Amino acid sequence: MMLFQSVCSLHRSTFRHFLPGCLAPCLALRLAPCLAVYLALAAAPSFAGSRIVGTGGVSAIEGAAGGGLSPWAVLSSTASEQEIGVTAAATRAWVDDYRLTVTSASVNIYDRVEVSAARQTLDLETLGGELGQDIYGAKVRLFGDVLYHPWGIWSAGVQHKRLVDGTIPTALGADETRGTDVYLSASKLLFSAVAGRNVLLNATLRNTDANQGGLLGFGGDQGSRSWVAEGSVGVFITPQWVVGAEYRQKPDNLSVAKEDDWQSLYTAYFFNKHLSLTGAWLDLGDIAGLPSQHGGYLSLQAAF
């Protein structure tokens, strides 16, 4: 912690105000100076919530707690009943013709309600220009616990999405420049399920009219709202290190912009209850007429 104070010249009481501002430029600078600071923090004592490390997942690209591509039933941070947790994350995904940058934050209130916000910016490196949207989410834990309840934890969520500029999506045939997703998620940790390792299972059922998650608008000439499935599995190599895979089914509403399902292979490391780092290999299929978009993903998350 002394190293952190000397580098950032901040008292511990201002720590929670520093992190969201530092996270955003961190990825833009290739994580270079900031990651060293955060690694110093990782060795510091944890003053986070009462839940076990890793039980809040990481920050998905739409701001909710979960994996990289999909929300899970768990709520962000490690706040338990009678505790409030705050989480901030910075994410960068780069595939063949696009770059996606996400900054997000969420609040966990008594491990019952999660409120989140995210800003997505998609750079169209081949086509030129950029797309952006703001996402405001809420998730409610319906019942259960990811560790000990026989049916795991179940949550319901909503995500309201608004495009910053709808010119390109409407030109492609999108019906709307804003839309709302609703979803139901279930998550369960299976103890010693694979070669003595704990396994985390997640399933999400989403009702949506979003094209490419909303970045290409909502609805189109081939359809509007539909139900889609999302799922993931993770194996804990150690209590702090998990590897796994995600799958996200997608609607296909625009005839001029074929949409494929998303999938990833990921790994996440939880340094402590405060800090985690996630990396992934992405297969996003066709996006806006450009085929076979593959690439990488990196997300840094801090929680209190």
pLDDT score recorded for residue 288? 85
CA distance 215 to 205: 20
Nearest to 202 by CA among 229, 182, 231: 231
CA distance 55 to 65: 10
249 against 288, higher pLDDT: 249
38 against 230, higher pLDDT: 230
How would residue 48 be classed by pLDDT, with cut points 50, 70 and 90? low
Confidence check: pLDDT of 4 > 80: no
pLDDT score recorded for residue 19? 36
pLDDT score recorded for residue 40? 46
Confidence check: pLDDT of 96 > 70: yes
pLDDT score recorded for residue 15? 31
Which tokens is 185 given? 């998620």
Confidence check: pLDDT of 41 > 50: no
Confidence check: pLDDT of 125 > 90: no
Percent of the chain with pLDDT strictly greater than 90: 74
Confidence check: pLDDT of 199 > 90: yes
CA distance 26 to 105: 15
Residues 127-141 have pLDDT tens digits of 778 999 999 999 999
How would residue 193 be classed by pLDDT, with cut points 50, 70 and 90? confident
Residues 5-19 have pLDDT tens digits of 333 333 333 333 333
Minimum mean pLDDT among 7-11, 39-43, 182-186, 215-219: which range?
A: 7-11
CA distance 146 to 74: 7
Q: What is the rounded average pLDDT of the residues 33-61?
A: 67
Mean predicted lDDT score pLDDT of the chain = 86
Residues 227-258 have pLDDT tens digits of 999 999 999 999 999 999 999 999 999 999 88
How would residue 47 be classed by pLDDT, with cut points 50, 70 and 90? low
Confidence check: pLDDT of 34 > 50: no
Contacts of 116 (CB under 8 A, 6+ apart): 62, 63, 64, 65, 76, 104, 105, 106, 107, 135, 136, 137, 138, 139
pLDDT score recorded for residue 84? 95
Nearest to 157 by CA among 230, 99, 89, 234: 230
DSSP-derived 3-state class of residue 267: strand
Q: What is the rounded average pLDDT of the residues 163-172?
A: 93
Minimum mean pLDDT among 26-40, 136-150, 157-171, 283-297: which range?
A: 26-40
Confidence check: pLDDT of 44 > 90: no
